[in-house]
Every structure is written in C-alpha cells, then in structure tokens.
Structure 1
Amino acid sequence: MLQRPVDTDINVYHRLTSVVIGEEALREVWMDKQDEYSLVPGCPSDRPLKSNYFYFSLKYVPRSPPCVSHPLSLIEIGTVLPVVVNRPILSPEQVQEETEEAEESTPKLIDGSSPQGPLSPGVQIPEASGGVSTCILCGCIRTTVYCDDHNLDAVPPLPKDTTHVYLRFNRISKINKNDFSYLNKLQKIDLTSNIITEIDEDAFRTLSNLDELLLPDNKIRQLPELPHSLSFLDLSKNRLGRKGIKQEAFKDLKDLRLLFLTNNHLDHIPIPLPDSLQALHLQDNNIQEMHEDTFCNMKDYSYARRALEDIRLDGNPINLSKTPQAFMCLPRIPVGRLI
C-alpha cells in the first residue's frame, strides 16, 4: 500500500516496497533523482489502522546548501504482515518432497538461477555489530545513513559505500582512528550535539573525499588533522580555547568556503586563512585585537579578498574601528563592535 499526500509538491516519481521477514524489514527504494529520504517507523495518525499492516513513513528532504530550509512532506507506506498459517507436522520425507516440488515450480532465469536468489543491487546489507545490522538499528537510504537520536555512545559500523552519515543527538564521547578510515567515499559527517571530548589525530585526515564536517555543540578541546578536501567546517559551541587550533591549521584547505568557530573561548583569529573562504563566523568568543594583515596583504595594496563577504565578530570585546586598515581588501566590513 503506497499513499501520497495530495498537497505534496514532490516532483519525483518513485517506487518503494517493504517486506517483513521475521523480525527484520528488507527495504528497497528506487528514485530517479539524487534526493535524500529518511525512513521513520511509525503509524499514520489521520486514518484508521489496519491490524494486519506494518506502517512506517518516508520523510523527503531535498538536497540544499547550508541554511536553506524546505517544507517536509511525508509519504506513508504499509505492507501486509506475514500471516501465520496452522500446518500439520510433516515427516522428513514429506518435507523433502515438498521442497523438491517448490523448486520445480520456481521460475528460472536463462542462466538457471532463481530470480529470488541474491538480493538486488539496490538493497544494502551492511556490516553488523552484535548481530544487529546498522541499517536496521538506524536507517539507510542508498548511501546515506541516519543514526540521529539513538543514544549511541560510539560510532557504529557503517556500510563501506556510505557517502553521508548523520549521527546527531547521541552520546558519542570519542572519535577513534578507525571509526571512518575505511569509508573512502565519505562526503559528509554530521556529529552535531554529542558529548565528544577527544578526537584521534588521524580520525579524518585520510578521508580524501570529505566535503562537510559538522561538529557543533560538543566538548572538543583539540582540533585534529583535517583533510584538504573540506569546503564546510562547523566547530561552533566547543571548547577549543587558546591552544585548541594548531598554527596554520587551515592554510592548506584550498577549497574551504565556510568556517564556523562561534562560541569557542578563542582569543585570536586563526590565520592564515585560505583565499577560497566565503564565510567566517567567530561570534561570542574572547577576541580582543586584530592585526592589519589578518585578512589583507599589507605589502601588496592591490590584493583583494573578494570571496570573503561574511565575517562575524559580534559578541567579542574587539573594537573594529581601531584597525580600519585590516579591512581594505574585503568587500564588506565585518559585523562587530565599532565603538
């Protein structure tokens, strides 16, 4: 049973099936666009329930750049639960005969294999921890893994072809060296709102395709080595302080566009910053001064940093009016105190 809300504006055709096998659900999703979906166990609240149906919802979340919100649409899916049939107890000979008859009646492909043989390529069966598949404990849609708000205290084993992983609102306290190292296709890690205090120095360094690393609202005191592929790094609401960011930590991140370091007890602006940077958020720190060459090149007055249009220094004790020369190369004056 597949029902789609009348008021939805999803312009995507899709086919979804859910088959209940014992205590595990095998789910397949076919889509013609690279959109993200999230399967949420639950029941529809606006219609009567059928006792022989297993319900869950599909949350549609269009891909979008950061800070852009979209309305969510829900698609309700139900599948008939297995029906228990009372059957007489068979002798071993009768079981053998019945099995042979079933095999003979099963259609075969040209190569002689059964169409009900190996699972189709669209179905992922990832590595399991403690006998429970991560994708059954959490939820997997194509190469995206959703493990939000599952009270996890460590990063679970993930499918090797994972590209996006969401581990928000858990109780993870440490990121180990091998938690992500085997995920060569990983593009996004979101660990928002955990209790991370320690990250292994090489936990992210070898992830050559990692584009977004989101670690806000944790207790991180030391920034580890970062992959040069990053374009978005969010470390807001942590405890980096004066020594948490190594010297020239961002120098080689040539593709970095967004750097968020809000509320980290910082007393300085970490430099040098790559020319690719478009937004630098440093609100609610303890930055008291800025040098004239923090953003600009005082030896070359023709130098212009045109990409860096969004600098936030509000909530710091620094008086921006004391260093007007520091903003000459910028397209806009930073947001902050001017008196």
Structure 2
Amino acid sequence: MSHNNIEKIPPVLFLKSQKLIEIDFSFNKIARIDDWSFIGESNLEKLNLSHNLITELSANNFNSLMNVKYLDLSHNKIKEIDEMAFRQLLKLEYLSISHNSLTQIKPRNFLTLTKLAALDLSYNQIKEFEEDMLPLAQDQLNFTIDHNPVHKPDGYTFLKSSDIDINKFHRESRFISTSSNILEHA
C-alpha cells in the first residue's frame, strides 16, 4: 500500500485480516490516524507509516497493536504525541519518529516501552528533555537525537544541572548520538 495517494486508514479496515504481519503505508498522504484503525491486527509485527502527513498521535491510535516490534513514523509532520500513545506497544523494539516537528517529549511518552532497543528522534525541534522521558530499559537502548536544537539534556541520563555526566550514560547504554545539537555542557 506504499507509494499511493491514501489519505485515510478507515477504522476496522483490517478487522478480518488477522494473518497480516507487516503493513506498509509509507509514501502516502495520511494526515491522521483514526482511533482503532488497526483493530483486529493482533499479529501485526511491523508497521511503516513513514513519509506521510501525520500531525499528531492520540492515546488510542495503536491500541490493538500489542505485538508490533517495529514502528516507523519518520518523515511526517508530527507535532504532538499523547503521553499514552505507545502504552499498548509492549513488544516494541524499534521506534523512529525522526524528521518530524516535535518540540518536546512528554515524561511518559516512552515509559512502557521496556523492550525498546532503538529510538530515533533525530531531525525534530526538540529543545529539552523531561527527567524521565526514556524507557525504563535504557541500558539496552540505541538512542539518536541528532539535529535538534537541544541546549542541554535533562533527566537521569540528562540531569537538569550543568553537571551532566554523558559518560555515565555512555557506560549504561549501548549507544547515544547527540551530534549537531547546541549542547552547552557534556
């Protein structure tokens, strides 16, 4: 379904297609994901919504996607993510929200993503981080936040002080990339 002119994913479109493992809606004109658009997709493991016009993610967009391991939301126009948007994605391992218009990450956006191995937030407009923005399992996380106007990182890994211990984060995580930012301290 990629490289088309799809503007909307109707709710219950996939209600009787429980055997799908991968759906690719990339390179379309989808501006909004309706709540319950993916109901019935209990076996879905990979969802690609990149290169669309999506502007926000609500709390119920991905409710029935409990087995999704890969979610690509890159190259959209996402400005807002509800704190609970990813709460049902307990098996998610890869999440890309790069090349969007995010200016902030809310404290609980990624909290339930304990299996997350890769998080890409590069090429947004993120300036600061909330203290607990990263998932609990951050010791195995490959985290990329390149090309954001970050002045100084906040939180456990990013403390709200001028004494930021990026080296501690490097020791406790597999990878972090913060290139092309406006970091004031390291």
Alignment of 1:149 onto 2:9: no
Letter in 2 for 1:235: I
Letter in 2 for 1:190: N
Structure 2 counterparts to residues 143-222 of structure 1, below 5 A: 147-155=1-9, 157-158=13-14, 159-222=17-80
Letter in 2 for 1:229: K
| Shift, 1:246, TM fit | 2.1
Distance 1:170 1:277, change over 3 A: same
Q: Relative contact order (alpha carbons < 8 A, sep ≥ 6): 1 or 2 greater?
A: 2
| Shift, 1:199, TM fit | 3.0
Letter in 2 for 1:294: T
Letter in 2 for 1:236: S
Asked if the contact 1:278/1:307 (under 8 Å) is kept, the reply is no
Give the TM-score taking structure 2 as reference length: 0.80
Structure 1 equivalent of residue 180 of structure 2: 315
Distance 1:186 1:313, change over 3 A: same
SS in 2 for 1:175: coil
Structure 2 equivalent of residue 253 of structure 1: 113
Alignment of 1:241 onto 2:95: no
- Take 1:269 and 1:277, find their aligned partners in 2: how far apart are those partners? 19
| Shift, 1:193, TM fit | 0.4
Identity of aligned residues (%): 25
Q: Could you say which structure has the larger radius of gyration?
A: 1
- The equivalent position to 1:287 in structure 2, one of 131, 139, 150, is 150
Structure 2 counterparts to residues 37-52 of structure 1, below 5 A: none
Distance 1:304 1:237, change over 3 A: closer
Deviant stretches of 4+, over 4 Å: 303-307
1:156-187 Cα deviation digits (max 9, x unpaired): 63323211101111111110112112211111
| Shift, 1:289, TM fit | 1.1
Letter in 2 for 1:182: G
| Shift, 1:150, TM fit | 1.5
Paired residues in the alignment total 168
Asked if the contact 2:122/2:145 (under 8 Å) is kept, the reply is yes
Letter in 2 for 1:251: L
| Shift, 1:292, TM fit | 7.5
Asked if the contact 1:211/1:232 (under 8 Å) is kept, the reply is yes
Structure 2 counterparts to residues 1-339 of structure 1, below 5 A: 147-155=1-9, 157-158=13-14, 159-224=17-82, 225-226=85-86, 227-242=89-104, 245-270=105-130, 271-273=132-134, 274-291=137-154, 293-294=156-157, 308-319=173-184, 322-323=185-186
Distance 1:199 1:292, change over 3 A: closer
1:264-286 Cα deviation digits (max 9, x unpaired): 10012353423354311101111
Point out where structure 2 has 5 or more consecutive residues left out of the alignment: none
- Take 2:153 and 2:169, find their aligned partners in 1: how far apart are those partners? 18
Point out where structure 1 has 5 or more consecutive residues left out of the alignment: 1-146, 324-339
- Take 1:230 and 1:163, find their aligned partners in 2: how far apart are those partners? 14
1:243-279 Cα deviation digits (max 9, x unpaired): xx32132222110100000111001235342335431
Give the TM-score taking structure 1 as reference length: 0.45
Higher relative strand content: 1
- Take 1:247 and 1:198, find their aligned partners in 2: how far apart are those partners? 17
